[in-house]
Structure 1
């Protein structure tokens, strides 16, 4: 497909017109996956905007053109792909800032800006933040206590960051599910669930109501029985404290 990309042909819109007809014809008998494989083989999958005249090389123009031409599946594929790239970029920027121990207010601004630019859903933001924070911990191979201390230190150090984006009960619950899944999937964190939840509570990231809701009605089954049991003493303490008030 590269020989098509002669500047004058692209500028006149002839290449776009040709490629649109080709895509449409190809998709009559083949799936979108087949088309993507073809583009990958031609090393064009990431460069579809090169078919557009220079002035129209934007995500909006891409979506508008191919939607109008009835190639909605291609538009959806491209949007999903771009979204994934933006998530990756945000993760990478955050990883750098956390490794460099950038000031929390600056990190919050970075996240807000990227969320705005990429229209990242709030739930996704909470998940990314937790992933990045835990990935940055220096884990010990064998020492469980050391791992516990490292994880809790990280929670404490970056609680304000989590707090800035866990702005509702729904998002707090999402964070709890995220912690639950990670503790379930990572053997070295399995026993840390109650301690992490307790720490997030102490740092005002998780509200009591959220913890009780998860405890009574949580819907994610991963390790749930084990974690409910492990969290029981803390929940009892919360309930007793509530009764005393």
Structure 2
């Protein structure tokens, strides 16, 4: 009977894992406890609070637990998904601190103190910049879980930090959640943000911040779906003392709309598109964007004159202009139904001819042509 072959075995010394190679267990509750204890000992003095946080940064892992740290500084405790404070089995544990934005006095100076605290901490530990941005993107989604007073304070601090450049304005997009829009929470947060901004800065700087976030054309989306109309939008801003911002936004939005309209009309003119097609496009834009007739009359004139490569010879350009305008005079007539529109167009034609002296000889002909075209349209 043959003996069974013994299987080979591995032998040798067992290598113990070095302590520095062992991955530390993720323990946000432990980190929270240490921060809350330190804040409690520091008291209400923000200078003492910063001194504690600055010193603790060399001992505690801010890089790993930065989200928990900012949860505490904003809301007073570690936030669970949804925005509530994380609880613990040990009911005797301290789970929340009063040294936070939500517990601060609702005046701008007090909230500026907390914004300054966060700013100093992030400048001390630069790696926290991205964590802070992610924190605001997160807490703005949780707005519904906070009280109206807490949301107002958060809006003011967000505004201060965005205004200082520490937090990018793109975080405001996080408010565009269906549940926040439906309940009017997103709109109120935005209004509180705007009102705070205009107390410290002006409309042009706010417009710049909105453009960086791509929000300059999306403000209507903050209103509940059933209320997303230009009339309600304007009324809401006016009722909250934001008329100056409304005027500034409208001027820039009109400029953007007009530029887009010109870019669509010019190719139609160059390709000899039917008059009805061009007129239909202009009317649609007028209704959709609430463009005023006198503004549109001037815009049509500028578009017509920009669509042609004018002859450089003085004796030829006048006749060229007259023929071109005769062809499209009906477009101008369609948007000069009021005396205000007629006057605005006449002034613009006069300015154009003055700036381009080659057209001076045809100025009277142009005016006569437009009046004739309008009356023919009226009697037809």
Q: Taking structure 1 as the reference length, what is the TM-score of the superposition? A: 0.65
The whole-number CA distance in structure 2 between the counterparts of 1:114 and 1:7 is 28
- Kindly tell me: are residues 82 and 201 of structure 1, through their superposed partners in 2, closer, same or farther at Cα, counting changes over 3 Å? same
Partner of 1:149: 319
Structure 2: runs of 5+ lacking an equivalent? 1-171, 375-380
The whole-number CA distance in structure 1 between the counterparts of 2:284 and 2:344 is 22
The whole-number CA distance in structure 1 between the counterparts of 2:206 and 2:262 is 29
Q: Taking structure 2 as the reference length, what is the TM-score of the superposition? A: 0.45
Partner of 1:160: 330
Per-residue CA shift, 1:141-171, capped at 9, x if unaligned?
A: x433443332222022223333444456765
The whole-number CA distance in structure 2 between the counterparts of 1:136 and 1:180 is 19
Please show how residues 17-166 of structure 1 align to structure 2 within 5 Å: 17-140=188-311, 142-166=312-336
Does the 8 Å CA contact 2:181/2:222 hold for their aligned counterparts? Answer: yes
- Kindly tell me: are residues 197 and 169 of structure 1, through their superposed partners in 2, closer, same or farther at Cα, counting changes over 3 Å? farther
Partner of 2:359: 192
Q: Which moved more, 1:166-175 or 1:41-50?
A: 166-175
Counterpart secondary structure, 1:70: coil
More helix per residue: 1 or 2?
Answer: 1
Does the 8 Å CA contact 1:13/1:52 hold for their aligned counterparts? Answer: yes
Per-residue CA shift, 1:177-202, capped at 9, x if unaligned?
A: 3222112223xxx1331224225425
Partner of 1:210: none
Partner of 2:91: none
**Aligned-pair distance for 1:13?**
3.0
CA RMSD of superposed structures (Å) = 3.3
User: How many residue pairs are counted as aligned between the two chains?
Assistant: 203
Of structures 1 and 2, the larger Rg is shown by 2
Q: 4+ residue runs of structure 1 moved beyond 6 angstroms?
A: none
Partner of 1:232: none
The whole-number CA distance in structure 2 between the counterparts of 1:174 and 1:72 is 25
Structure 1: runs of 5+ lacking an equivalent? 208-245
